[in-house]
Amino acid sequence: MLVDSHCHLDFPDFDDSRAEVIARAQAAGVERMVTICTRLANAPRVRAIAEAHAPVYWAAATHPMSVADDPLASVEDLTALAAHPKFVAIGETGLDYHYTSESASKQQDSLRIHIEAARRTRLPLVIHARDADADMARILTEEHAAGAFNCVMHCFSSSRALAEAALALDFYLSMSGIAAFPKSKELRAIFADAPLDRILVETDSPYLAPPPHRGKTNEPAFIAHTAAVGAEVFGLSPKDFARATTANFDRLFWKAA
C-alpha cells in the first residue's frame, strides 16, 4: 500500500471527477492521501473534501507564491485549523524566488510564522523550495536551533546542498514525478544517497505526472510509477519500498497514522 503525501484534490482539474479520482487511487493501492490547501481562504473547501472521503487528510498554509496577495497568516490562525481531526500538517509554506522573488522578505516572514505553528502543534511542516536554497537552508537551520520541529521537503528537486542541510536536521525528502523523469539522473543520485527512512513519495497532482502519463493531468493513482522508480533507486522491490515509505509517512504525519 502506498500513501500520496501531497496532492491538490481541491483544484478545478478534479471538479468533475473528484470521487472517481479518489476511487482510482484506492484501486491502485493508494490507501491515504493528503490534500494541501495553498490559501487559507480556501480551507473550508479543502476540509470538506477530507471530511467527505475517508482516505483523504488535509493540510493548509499560505503558499509562498500567494504571500504577496494574501494577508500573512497568524500562528493562531494555523493552530486553530490544527484542531480538526483530519488536519495533519502545516503547509505548504516556504520560499519561491523563481516566480516571486520580489516578495522574498515577506515570504521569509511567512515561513517563520508557519514554523512556529508547527512547533506549537507538533505537526510536520510541508516545505516548498524553488531557487531559494541558501535562504531556505539558513532559515530552517536557524529556526530548528531555536526550537525543534519536523519537516518534509515536498517535491524535492533542489540542490544536493539543500538536501544535506535538511537531512542534517533529520527532515524528510519527498519524491515526486520529477524524480521519474529521464533527465533527472542527478536528482535520483541525491535520493540514492539519502537514508531510506527519510523518504516519502507524492504526486503533487494535478501537476508533474510521471512517465508514462507525462503531459497529462496527474492524479494520486499515478504515484505507483514514481514509487517504482524509487524502488529502483534504493535497490528494493516495489513492495518493500512501499512498506518503507508508508512507515516514514506514519512517523512524520502521526495524526494520519
Q: Do residues 67 and 108 touch, judged by C-beta distance below 8 A? A: no
Tell me how far apart the alpha carbons of residues 44 and 224 are, in angstroms, rounded to a whole number.
30
Q: Do residues 112 and 136 touch, judged by C-beta distance below 8 A? A: no
Look at residue 44 in the predicted model and tell me its pLDDT: 98
Second CATH level (architecture) for the domain 2-256: Alpha-Beta Barrel (3.20)
Q: What is the pLDDT of residues 27-40, one digit of tens each?
A: 999 999 999 999 99
Look at residue 106 in the predicted model and tell me its pLDDT: 98
Q: What is the pLDDT of residues 181-195, one digit of tens each?
A: 999 999 999 999 999
Look at residue 80 in the predicted model and tell me its pLDDT: 97
- Spatial neighbors of 194 by CB under 8 A, at least 6 apart, are 163, 167, 173
Q: Are strands 2-7 and 30-37 parallel, antiparallel or unpaired?
A: parallel
Tell me how far apart the alpha carbons of residues 236 and 230 are, in angstroms, rounded to a whole number.
8
Q: Are strands 151-153 and 87-96 parallel, antiparallel or unpaired?
A: unpaired
Q: Are strands 151-153 and 172-175 parallel, antiparallel or unpaired?
A: parallel
Q: Which residues of the chain have pLDDT under 70?
A: none
Look at residue 165 in the predicted model and tell me its pLDDT: 98
Torsion over CA of 140, 143, 144 and 149, rounded to 10 degrees? Answer: -90
Look at residue 39 in the predicted model and tell me its pLDDT: 96
Read off φ and ψ for residue 49, nearest 5 degrees: -65, -45
Give the global pTM. Answer: 0.97
Look at residue 40 in the predicted model and tell me its pLDDT: 96
Look at residue 200 in the predicted model and tell me its pLDDT: 98
What are the domain boundaries of the chain?
A: 2-256
Q: Do residues 152 and 176 touch, judged by C-beta distance below 8 A? A: no
Look at residue 256 in the predicted model and tell me its pLDDT: 97
